[in-house]
Amino acid sequence: MKKGLRKIILINSYLKELVSEVEIGNNTMITGDNGAGKTSFLKLIPAFFGMKTSKISKKSENTDNFVQFYLPYKNSYIVYEYVTHLGNVAQVVLSRHHTTSIEPKVQYRFVAKPFDASDYLNEEQEGKFIALEPHELHTLWSERLINFTKAVPTQSDFRKVMQNDELRTVEKDFHPYSLTGGRNNLKHIDYIVHALITGKVSIPDIKSLLAKIMHQSGGDYKLQFNPNEAERWIEHYEVVSKFESKKESYMTTLENGNELIENEDQLEVQAKYIESALQVITEQFVELQQSVQGKKSVLKEAESAKNQLIETSSESLSNLKGRISGASTQIDKINRQQDHFIDQEIEHKLALFESIPEKEADVATLQSDLDYYSSHSKDIEQINTESELRVKEKNADIKREQKAKESALKAIDGEHEIAKSSLEQNHSKLISQIEKQYSQEREISIGEKHKVEAEISSLSNAILSVPLDEEVVAIAAEISKTHTREVELLNESGSLSSQKYSIQNSDLLSEKNTITSQLKELLNEKNAHLKSIETLDELKNGLKGSALNAIRAIDPELINNPIIKVLGHKLLLRTDLSAHIDEIDIDAGIYGLHLDIDSLQSPSEFEDMDNQIIILDEKIAEIDAKTEAIRQRLKEIEAKIATNNVELKRLDKKLDEVRTLIDENKSKREFLSDKKASLIAEKEASLIKRKEAAEKMLRKAERNIAAITEKRDESIEELNASHLTAKSDCDTMFSEKREASEDIFEQRIDRLKKDIKAIREDANARINDIDFDNEAYRAVKASYDKLIETIEEYRSYEPLINSYTKFKEDDLTRLDDLIAEKQSLLQEQSLLTQKVEIAKQDYARKKADIETEVSALNRKIDALTELKSNLTSLSSSLSDMGIETVHDAELPNDFDISDFVATNQKLVSKTIAMGKSVKRELSSIQQELVSNGSEDIRKCWNDEVGMMTTSNSHRLYRAQIVAFNKIVHEIIPGFKQIVISNALAMGHGVNEFKLQLNGISRTINDLGRKISDAVNGCSNYDSITDISINLESVIHKIHGWEIIVDFCDAYTSWQESDYKENILPGETFKNRLKQIIDIKRIGNSDVKIEDLFNVVFAVTENGRRKTARTATDLEKMSSNGLTFLFISTLYLGMIKVQRGASLVSIQWPVDELGKLSTENTLRLIGILENNNIAIATALPEPNIDLMNSFGKMYHISKHGYLVENNVEKDELALMMENA
């Protein structure tokens, strides 16, 4: 009994009849108008072979989908009657199945009996039947003891059952209903059959279908390659490569970093003395400042005493100067008067005046003589008497004038004395006022000075007390709290880090690498076994010729028999036909050559090979079991790593939170420290500013005091000068007034003396007029007159002499006193000046001594300041280096601050220089190995740096050194091993991909050969002598193939040489890997099999050979009929290859078969029949020339009724002619 589909029955479907049955086991023709449903009927054939119903009918093609069109009601059914691989007639029933989805699905169920309409219908009335619903149907079947299965779970399971594909995954109850059994399967036959009915020439669809077939043979052809892991490998590779190239430099940096840490540790030990040393310096500084202030106070007191002495002495000196000036003026005046008297020949005149008594004695003598002679002349006497009287009157007037003169001069002298006294009084009064005025101003300035000095002292103490300010102390307390909080956070961070580091993926990664290596070894061993099997197959295939030759020797036609070809080398490997040909049962019927394979015996050489293959298969099975166990363990490891990573992420997140809190706390501390420093600086600046302002006021007060003293001295000197000028003016005025008064009286006296002289001359003239010729008388008279004139002249000296006498009695006597007084004043002035100079010298000497002491103290202060500055600078440098000072460390007894500073400054300088170098190198390392390195190195770096720098961000390099040390001694070696291990894994994976593609190439060639062999002799058409179908591999043309080959060559070369010496792969390996990553990224590495080959159609038409590789080529070189023959030939070859040794009959649905000529159509039908393929076609009307080639003919009327045509060819022709 022929196996395969026999009938298709539609119950209550899209056709009008309740039951429409079509026998389709042999060639079948269905005719009908357009839209009658004949093509829809043909589409049910792919569904029988397992085609997805969604691909058979779509809403875009029909108004309804498959279920809605073919199974419109609950009691609608599609029934396929067929013969199973066991030779049993069975049914598969497709019904409507309602699920929770919006659209109903198709339900499949197998029935173990031929189709009988009564099993599906119920007669409601006589002659009127209805189809039972599924639950009624199942009840009926159960009552009739019909064996049927439960519903097939899925459409995919139904396909597996029908095609005998992966049947082990389907319940055993369904296994007996498969079309083929054993190792034979009909995989993808549904796609091939569905492709036949479409009638479309789509090279991509053809290649896709061929790819599905090859995929069945070749396995998974994707590049098992993770670009992310490859990029990570490249990161590790570059890191390790960079490290290897600069390893010596890096190790030097690490040594310098460790030395730097040792230096800093030493500085940390020394840093604990800085605060105490600063405290000692501060105390010494305060003591020295107090000493300086004390010295300055002593100097100020000495200066104040000196200034007071100078001030007091200045007043006395000013008075002395005035008195000396007055005495000098009087002495000068007396000297001028004395000079005036000298100029008046006062001594001569005094002598002449003193000789007046002698002259008067002479006058008396001459008078007695004149008296003697006067007796001789009364007239003369009378004249003389009269003249004497008159002379007496004039002398009386002279005396009166002299008395008036003396009175006037006395009055003038009195006024002069009063004026001088008044001037002296006014001068003393003005001096007193000036002293009082400037004394008050000076006292005010001195008071201001003392007030400012007190303020400066208070501000100095305040500056020293700023660190003890309440607000500063409060901020310091806040800073202390941040330190405490930071310690708590660091403890928490340490705890989290401990938890984090307790989660180690390294062991898992190591185990992963180990078992990956084991997996690689197993895969290599498996590949070796596969190659051995391939070698044995090739050896057995080499023996294939002997079997073929044996067949050819018996019957040359058997070589071309399609059944022999379909059986392939498996039959030939199991049979020595030359020895056992008699045991072959040959039946030359329509089904071709049938062989009882189980009756054949295997020769011994094949048995050995089969045994070896079986042993190798068992080993491969063991390897597969081990690899599966390893893959399972890998999954467990990856799951554990993933769990660890989740926990690590949680811990990292918590660590980040803690670090954020630490950073915030640190920022707060820095803010408070800055605030404290700013507050101290602000307060100190404010106090210093006030102190500077106070010092400025002090200097201003001192300048005011000096200015006041200077102004007072200038005022006194100016007043003294004015006083002396006024006194001089007063003396000059009264002197002039006295002289004027003296001149007036002297003129009066002179006139009176002239009058006396005139009187005497007149008397003498009168006497001379008297005729008295007494010569003796005359001579006496003349002597007498001359003597009188002399006496008068001498008497005229009397005022001058009186003045001189008075001058001698008053002024000359006073001159000695004035000179003595002046000398006394000068001596007093000298003594006072000497006293002042001595005081100044004493002050200057004391000032010099104090300034020397202060200078010495200032030098000590400067030395302490410099030392303090150096200590502060040292502390700042240490702080910049992240080294904090200690506040409570005591200094040793022999501690020398200068030596301490000098020694540690050198160490700090060396450490800073080394730190700059190390930090620069670490920065370069960070850029080279961290920033541009792998994520693991960055994570290690960031973890260490983040954990350690939270306590001291200035000592970042310490964390970097720790991280770098860990990178150098742990991560890099680990990376190197991972790089080498992963290089092996990736190289193996890509190499496997290359081998797979090479295997695909062989598969393509093998399938092409099989298809070519299958269609050989199947192209005997009109005008066409040969049609060949071949598959052409284009793997070498795929994108990146050369790159993959280069990579695999680099991998193989490295594996065979450098790998054994633990050396990294070369640059070619890395560069090609990068290119492979790019290929993988853009998706070009996921190879589609249909892109790896071309379908090459070749035909000899009318003696001319034509070839086509694309649909365009195919369209250009052929008509629609030739194209259809190409596709038919290809699908025929594919069916024969897929069907293999199975004898199941295949239905070939073709819509519109009329594209071919009648002759070629008949030849095509004959070729299909020879290959156990039944054609089913849909035509608008029957084709008379083809009738004899179709066992069954059906017609679907325009009303949807299916009618079987049982007429003969001649009857049909006559009917059509009459029509």
Q: What is the pLDDT of residues 549-595, one digit of tens each?
A: 555 555 555 555 544 544 444 444 444 443 444 444 433 333 333 34
Q: Which residues pair with 77 in a beta bridge?
A: 11, 95
pLDDT along the chain (1219 residues), means of 10: 91 93 92 88 92 74 73 94 94 85 84 95 86 93 94 93 89 92 84 78 78 65 74 80 81 86 82 80 83 84 82 78 79 76 72 78 77 65 80 85 85 86 86 82 83 83 77 80 75 71 70 80 81 70 50 53 45 41 38 37 57 83 85 82 80 80 79 80 83 84 83 81 82 82 84 84 75 66 80 75 72 75 84 85 86 85 80 76 68 81 84 82 74 68 64 65 81 81 85 82 84 76 77 81 88 85 85 81 67 84 80 70 77 82 85 74 85 89 82 88 73 53
Cα–Cα distance between 1073 and 186 in angstroms, integer?
Answer: 41
Residue 1024: name the closest of 1164, 1150, 922 by CA: 1164
- Burial class for 598, CB neighbours closer than 10 Å (0-12, 13-18, 19+): exposed
CB proximity list for 850: less than 8 A, separation 6 or greater:
295, 296, 298, 299, 302
User: In order of start, what are the domains of the chain with their CATH numbers?
Assistant: 1-186+1144-1219 (3.40.50.300)
Asked if 177 and 161 touch (Cβ cutoff 8 Å), the reply is yes
Distance of CA 443 to the CA centre of its chain: 68
Q: Tokens in use for 637? A: 């490891």
- The pairing of beta strand 77-83 with beta strand 89-97: antiparallel
Per-residue pLDDT at 598? 38
CB proximity list for 1: less than 8 A, separation 6 or greater:
83, 87, 89
Q: In what order do the strands lie in the sheet with 105-111?
A: 19-23, 4-11, 77-83, 89-97, 105-111
Q: Which residues pair with 32 in a beta bridge?
A: 1196
Asked if 956 and 945 touch (Cβ cutoff 8 Å), the reply is yes
Can you tell me whether residue 100 is helix, strand or coil? coil
The angle formed by the CA atoms of residues 55, 57 and 63, to the nearest 5 degrees, is 145
Asked if 1182 and 1212 touch (Cβ cutoff 8 Å), the reply is yes
Phi, psi for residue 14 in degrees, rounded to 5: -75, -20
Q: Tokens in use for 991? A: 């190499």
CB proximity list for 783: less than 8 A, separation 6 or greater:
366
Q: Tokens in use for 378? A: 């009364």
Cα–Cα distance between 321 and 938 in angstroms, integer?
Answer: 96
On the CB side of 10, how many CA atoms lie within 13 Å of its CA? 25
- Burial class for 1054, CB neighbours closer than 10 Å (0-12, 13-18, 19+): buried
Q: Which residues pair with 475 in a beta bridge?
A: none
Cα–Cα distance between 1095 and 590 in angstroms, integer?
Answer: 31
Q: Would you say how long the chain is, in residues?
A: 1219
Asked if 22 and 8 touch (Cβ cutoff 8 Å), the reply is yes
Cα–Cα distance between 628 and 620 in angstroms, integer?
Answer: 12
Rounded to two decimals, the pTM is: 0.45
Cα–Cα distance between 179 and 1143 in angstroms, integer?
Answer: 10
Cα–Cα distance between 1065 and 1046 in angstroms, integer?
Answer: 13
CA trace torsion 940, 945, 951, 952 (10° rounding): 160
Per-residue pLDDT at 765? 78
Q: What is the largest CA-CA distance in the chain?
A: 247
Output the DSSP codes for 387-445: HHHHHHHHHHHHHHHHHHHHHHHHHHHHHHHHHHHHHHHHHHHHHHHHHHHHHHHHHHH
Asked if 82 and 1174 touch (Cβ cutoff 8 Å), the reply is no
- Burial class for 238, CB neighbours closer than 10 Å (0-12, 13-18, 19+): middle
Cα–Cα distance between 539 and 532 in angstroms, integer?
Answer: 10
The DSSP element (H or E) to which 1104 belongs, if any, is: strand 1104-1108
Q: 954 vs 262, 490, 733, CA distance in Å? A: 16, 17, 95
Cα–Cα distance between 1119 and 1023 in angstroms, integer?
Answer: 13
Cα–Cα distance between 235 and 979 in angstroms, integer?
Answer: 9
Distance of CA 926 to the CA centre of its chain: 14
C-beta atoms surrounding 1 within 10 Å: 8
| Helix-, strand-, coil-residue percentages of the chain, each rounded to 5 | 75, 10, 20
